[in-house]
Structure 1
């Protein structure tokens, strides 16, 4: 081959490459430019209008959360007040002792009903007076005016 034909072939390749590069440069859009930016792996690029929409949704979510928290606090305070007044208004209670119940279950039921102040003290009294094995299955009407001794006498059988 001749030098001139090799030179012509090289120039043709150069012109073709330059024309492809120029055509690619003219057709690039914003997304292609953003893809060419060096960003750390795992980073997501979003448009400004998308960012504004996300920020607006976040602000609305914060407002809803604040409203829910205030509603929950009000509800919690109201529930505690109702429970406190309910315990004060309870004057009597029907204690049901079932088969297999021990002194701890009986004492916790009495404490939850507001008939005694401390389940541990009641349980200790029953055990100390050797009445734990004498608990009787049945239903018993208990009221707040009864002493620990009266309650124990009512729910146990004497030896």
Structure 2
């Protein structure tokens, strides 16, 4: 083999190596572009998770309300209202109180049975930031939804 043949063969190998390098660089860019579709899938999954959390909060409220409804036998008569013990309380919401403070207060007053359910409901329904300062008459026969509606209504 002469010198020019070896030189041509070496140049050919160099060009082939450069071509493989360019191909691998473009392939890596395609992988990076596929991560943007993964980001979109992640966002969709997070939205679905949020929806499931809201549904769970609503189901917990439904369960709590179902537990409050008395089951009567066919022959059993409803109790007289005077014998029912409903805890009536005045809730005073002061400036600086948050939904955690209010839930703890309601639980300690006996108006609600679980402060975490109350907190979860307010967050799921985006009501935690709409709580109004004031005095509210509440009782234990009220549902979490009714309590939340009462303390988040705009006063006129």
TM-score (norm 2): 0.43
Higher radius of gyration, 1 or 2: 1
Higher relative contact order (CA 8 A, sep 6+): 2
TM-score (norm 1): 0.42
